[in-house]
Amino acid sequence: MSEIALSLKNVTKVFVKDNMQLKAVDNTNLEVEKGELVTFLGPSGCGKTTTLRMVAGFEIPSEGTITFAGKDMTNVPVNQRGIGFVFQNYALFPHMTIYNNVAYGLKARGEKNFTEKVKNALALVGLAGTEDKYPNELSGGEQQRVALARVIVMDPALLLMDEPLSNLDAKLRIHMRTEIRKLQKKLGITCLYVTHDQAEALTVSDRIVVMSRGKVEQVGSPREVYNNPNSAFVADFIGQANIIKCKVIELKEGRITATLPTGNEITARTEQEFKVGDEAILVARPENIIIEDFKEGDIPAQVINSLFVGNHVEYELQLGDTVINANVPHKPDMKIFTDGEKVSLVMDKKTLLYLNH
Ligand SMILES: Nc1ncnc2c1ncn2[C@@H]1O[C@H](COP(=O)(O)OP(=O)(O)OP(=O)(O)O)[C@@H](O)[C@H]1O
Ligand SMILES: [Mg+2]
């Protein structure tokens, strides 16, 4: 049986500023299992931080309830929630040693004999032996590890991370996201994670909550939201997607047939409702499209631009009135089509999906 560590029921947060009401979080419902890492992903201002701040207790919801392991926490003060919070600017105390930085919370909590705990926490983040150093003697990535050690040493019931890697350079970000995920799994700690980097969300999460304008658009595993987005917004936000407007001409069980901007017909799966004559959005990932020499009866497209990027060729293509992208895997002996050339578009049918919004 899975245990629910955290639940948000109808949680709404309204901010009032200059007599204007802003719904930063709009009726969010979510259950997080013990040991799960759930990521909030969405554009700037969609309510990710506000959601985390309500879970932490820095903000009180305008409506709804927040429970930890079945216990109502909605109005419980921050320091009684047993939460660890890692922020974007992880600001260590510069005048304290690494040891004292990590020990700080334990001392404040009145604990004694914590030397082993501090050493263990530093070892867990790969920083054994740095106890006597000062923050300015460590790299950015190492400092972020100290920030992590400082939180996990407290053995929090819930770990909240708000864009913890955004101050690091691209390479270190990729390395640290793997490290964070390994550590989170090893400790079995329940974690809420915020990012607006979709690659980070896909790699660290058990489940992703895609948000837009305060609302939850979709919740699912990384593969679910990537393969079965429920809206064009989600399809476009997670990975790259061609969004092609089509017209429905036939309905079948779990599938529809619609006409592309070129007039060609394509049958593909859908989980949504349509009527004949409706507009349907065909989602086609660039990696699921290839191009070939044009043959009569195929879907015609024209090459606008081609970019050789090593393992694949990125094509920009004109499809009727729509511009789409195709990333065709590269082989040394393959033909690379040139600008202006007329080609046949071949889409991997299994991967195509029709959406109604
Ligand atoms: N204390 C506040 N008072 C008034 N408005 C606020 C307050 N905090 C947040 N907001 C507004 O609520 C909305 C959601 O903000 P939030 O910080 O949750 O977004 P976010 O998804 O974390 O964005 P980002 O990716 O930029 O960090 C924004 O429009 C923001 O301006
Ligand atoms: Mg934020």
216 and 331 share one domain: no
219 and 319 share one domain: no
184 and 319 share one domain: no
For 306-331, write each residue's pLDDT tens digit.
999 999 999 999 999 999 999 999 99
For 48-65, write each residue's pLDDT tens digit.
999 999 999 999 999 999
Question: 177 with 194: CB under 8 angstroms?
Answer: no
Say which CATH number the domain at 263 has.
2.40.50
The answer to whether residue 170 scores a pLDDT higher than 80 is: yes
Could you tell me the distance, in angstroms and rounded to a whole number, from the CA of residue 24 to the centre of ligand 2? 11
Q: Is residue 32 part of a domain?
A: yes
Q: Contacts from 43-46 at CB under 8 Å and sequence distance 24+?
A: 43/196, 43/212, 43/237, 44/196, 45/213, 46/211, 46/212, 46/213, 46/214
The answer to whether residue 270 scores a pLDDT higher than 70 is: yes
Nearest ligand, measured from the Cα of 25: 1
Could you tell me the distance, in angstroms and rounded to a whole number, from the CA of residue 151 to the centre of ligand 1? 24
CA-nearest of 345, 57, 5, 23 to 215 is: 23
- Number of domains comprising the chain: 2
- pLDDT range class, residue 1, cuts 50, 70, 90: low
Determine the pLDDT at residue 146: 93
Q: Is residue 280 part of a domain?
A: yes
Question: 158 with 55: CB under 8 angstroms?
Answer: yes
Strands of 152-254, DSSP E: 158-162, 190-195, 207-212, 215-220, 242-252
251 and 333 share one domain: yes
Could you tell me the distance, in angstroms and rounded to a whole number, from the CA of residue 94 to the centre of ligand 2? 25
Q: Is residue 292 part of a domain?
A: no
The answer to whether residue 89 scores a pLDDT higher than 80 is: no
User: What does the block give as tokens for 221?
Assistant: 């595993």
* Rounded CA separation 294/300 (Å): 7
Ligand 1 binding pocket mutation candidate from 11, 15, 18, 89 (most atoms within 8 A of CB): 15
Question: 158 with 192: CB under 8 angstroms?
Answer: yes
128 and 265 share one domain: no
pTM above 0.85, yes or no: yes
222 and 83 share one domain: yes
Determine the pLDDT at residue 335: 93
Question: 68 with 9: CB under 8 angstroms?
Answer: no
Task: Tell me the three state secondary structure of residue 157.
Answer: coil
Residue range 327-337: mean pLDDT, rounded: 94
Q: Is residue 318 part of a domain?
A: yes
Question: 78 with 102: CB under 8 angstroms?
Answer: no
Domain containing 314: what range?
Answer: 240-287+297-355
Q: Is residue 249 part of a domain?
A: yes
199 and 255 share one domain: no
Residue range 118-132: mean pLDDT, rounded: 93
* Rounded CA separation 324/301 (Å): 10
Determine the pLDDT at residue 196: 87
Could you tell me the distance, in angstroms and rounded to a whole number, from the CA of residue 200 to the centre of ligand 1? 21
Amino acid letter at 105? Answer: G
Ligand 1 binding pocket mutation candidate from 21, 48, 166, 193 (most atoms within 8 A of CB): 48
For 224-257, write each residue's pLDDT tens digit.
999 999 999 999 999 999 999 999 999 998 999 9
207 and 317 share one domain: no
- pLDDT range class, residue 169, cuts 50, 70, 90: confident
Closest-CA residue, ligand 1 atom 10, reads 24
* Protein residues with CB under 6 Å of any ligand 1 atom: 15, 17, 22, 24, 42, 44-50, 196
80 and 136 share one domain: yes
Closest-CA residue, ligand 1 atom 25, reads 44
Q: Is residue 195 part of a domain?
A: yes
Closest-CA residue, ligand 1 atom 24, reads 44
For the chain, give the percent of residues with pLDDT over 90. Answer: 87
Could you tell me the distance, in angstroms and rounded to a whole number, from the CA of residue 24 to the centre of ligand 1? 6
Ligand 1 binding pocket mutation candidate from 22, 163, 200, 216 (most atoms within 8 A of CB): 22
Among 200, 216, 233, the domain-final residue is 233
Q: Is residue 316 part of a domain?
A: yes
Say which CATH number the domain at 74 has.
3.40.50.300
Distance of CA 196 to the CA centre of its chain: 7
34 and 123 share one domain: yes
